[in-house]
Amino acid sequence: MREVLRRHPRLWCDLAFRGDHATGGQVDPAWREAFTEFPDRFMVGTDTFTPERWQYIGEHARYSRGWLADLPAPLAERIGWRNAEAAPAGCGAHLVSPARQVAECGGLTLVFAPGRSPLSVGRHFALDIAACAGSGSAPPASLRVDADMPAHRHGINYKPTVQALGDGRFVAAGLMFHMPGHWRLLFYAPGGAPLTWEVTVP
């Protein structure tokens, strides 16, 4: 399967009707390697193709939650539900980090990943970003990135810089969360509403 995924970068896999990837809540080592190598290419599937299958949804959900808990949280979220989020085909395909995220607003999609994960207090980090516009539209030529804590009504102590790499790709550097709690990353493209992503930093 890994060989096939390497040959076909736009191939995705769902895990319906499978049980060999985990036993007793423990992910098989070979499957763990596959999930880690292709964090954005697997999804939990239910195969509710006929009414008779609906009775198994609860059991399947419990089984899936059990083995997903054996994976790092960002990877588990991707396989559990984030990989099913809509995004333009090929958008951010170069971002293969388990911490890969997707934000959408007003026809603009941002796919981004921090340079390290998990994020922690008092350590600078950078974001690799891919911006994808709707059909027939060009990606933004510039982007501004900021962050705030809505509950505390303040922003970050450091002003990040954003470098445009062309073709809708950017690198935002100099970000740092200076205190623990609930943070919100803000992405501003010209002429549009900000896109947001929320994260809790321990």
pTM: 0.58
Strand 13-14 vs strand 42-43: parallel, antiparallel, or unpaired? parallel
Which three-class secondary structure state does DSSP give residue 64? Answer: helix
C-alpha dihedral sign at 90, 148, 99, 23: negative
CA distance 163 to 170: 6
pLDDT in tens, 83-108: 776 555 568 877 877 788 888 777 78
Tokens representing 80 are 């559990």
Neighbour count for residue 199 (Cβ, 10 Å): 15
Max Cα–Cα distance, the chain, nearest Å: 56
CA distance 170 to 107: 18
CA distance 94 to 76: 20
pLDDT in tens, 109-168: 899 999 888 899 999 999 999 998 876 678 899 999 999 999 999 999 989 999 999 889
Report H helices in the chain: 2-7, 29-37, 57-68, 73-80
CA distance 40 to 96: 7
